[in-house]
A and B are shown apart, each in its own frame.
Chain A
Amino acid sequence: MEFEEYAAARWPVLFRTALLLTGSRAEAEDLAQTTLVKVYAGWAKVSRADSPDAYVRRMLVNEFTSDRRRGARRAATAPVGVPQLVPADDPSQRLDLWAHVLALPPRQRAVLVLRFYEDLTETQTAHVLGVAVGTVKSQAHDALRTLRTRLGQQEVPS
């Protein structure tokens, strides 16, 4: 498969995942584009991977977490606009949840997106993030506990 063909097919998927990671259309577009630039530069290697899609997803998430660590993207963009990203039904609860998800540290947010949107297992999530499974478990636990606390919920087993 040529890169152009692959990029056209995967662009919507990458943009959606990037949108959930960043919470901003502009940042998501930038993140997905930056990832595909790197994919194109290393296309010979990427296309030979056992699963190019998994490889590219890992590049996307790593780009997000590393960029967040540098703080460059955060400093350069406006605050996240929550309302336009939230479904119309049951708006108050989802606004709260979405706002709290976006307030999580990048790695915790990435764990939630990979687990509950991409539907990856803890092992697969650990592989994408390049961390131990135990780290994924602890990051997910911390993230869910934070969300429950901020939403005023009672702690329930995850």
Chain B
Amino acid sequence: MTDLHDHLTELFGSTATDAEIPPLPLQEILAGGDDLRRVRRRRAAIWTAAAAAVAVVAVSLPLALTGHGSQSSPAPTHHTTGPAIPSGAPSAAPSAVEPKEPFVRGTTLHAAGRTFEVGKRVNLVSAGDTVLVGHWGATITWRTLRGDHLVPLPYGADTVPVLSPRGTQVAVSTNPTPQTSRITVYDARTDAEIAHVDLDLPATCCDGGSVQQLSIDATGTVRWVEDRGREAPRMAWHPGSAPRQIAPGNP
């Protein structure tokens, strides 16, 4: 062996050329990629929530110290429905985290110790005992796991719902008119509407429209960021009260 470079080139070349190429595992790749996207979205949501918490503290602390907590810029027009529900810490102790979360592998949903054929191009939203499965087509429609069946949800078409940490409430953002955005809170067990709020906020393309970073906490308080062009105020709303701005928009 006089020239190691040449021998390496020859060895690599012949080994690679002679190799029998296995079939492309496309379905596994697509399923794995979808799972990875969900994990990344969940991770991003956690960071967003953490950043929001920091922002709330950063904004509310100086306001509290100066006694100007009730002052803010004029609130946008809002129309709320539904009963007044007291906010505050829930009375029940937080339930233990489930040891195994639902997941989709290939075209099969694994949840509650059972499997369900859900087809391709699905989106999974879950918390507590609630499992929502979105089916992508021309738009997205949702089903929820009830017992041994996946039953259609009467809401959530063309949007992605979010669940409260224990999965007891669902919040969705829709556009009843081109000039209006609506946030609706549902009872995740009965699908009954708890309340909704209409915002003077035109619909915009695409995911989430003008209502972005939608979330609902364990007390039922909904938070989101409004896309108002050069401003993006962070808002909070508890059913029974008016939405309020909790952080200023971007300059």
Contact = CB atoms under 8 A, between A and B. Distances in A.
Contacts of B24: 7-8, 11
B32 A25 contact: no
Contact of B26 (A8, A15, A17, A148): A8
Contacts, number: 91
B15 A33 contact: no
B33 A41 contact: yes
Nearest to B23: A11
Interface stretch (A63-71, A73-81, A111-119, A127-135): A111-119
Nearest to A145: B4
- SS class of chain B's interface: helix, strand, loop or mixed? helix
B14 A19 contact: no
A43 B32 CA distance: 13
Interface string B156-200: 000000000000000000000000000000000000000000000
A151 interface: yes
10 nearest A-B residue pairs (beta carbon): A40-B33, A117-B12, A37-B32, A16-B16, A41-B36, A116-B8, A11-B24, A87-B14, A41-B33, A12-B21
A93 interface: yes
A144 interface: yes
B16 to A, nearest CB: 4
B8 A112 contact: yes
B120 to A, nearest CB: 12
- SS class of chain A's interface: helix, strand, loop or mixed? helix
A135 B81 CA distance: 65
Contacts of B14: 87
Contact of B18 (A87, A93, A153): A87
A147 interface: yes
A9 to B, nearest CB: 10
B208 to A, nearest CB: 17
Given A20-B12, A25-B22, A36-B29, 10 more contacts: A4-B30, A8-B24, A19-B19, A33-B29, A87-B14, A93-B1, A97-B1, A98-B15, A116-B5, A116-B9
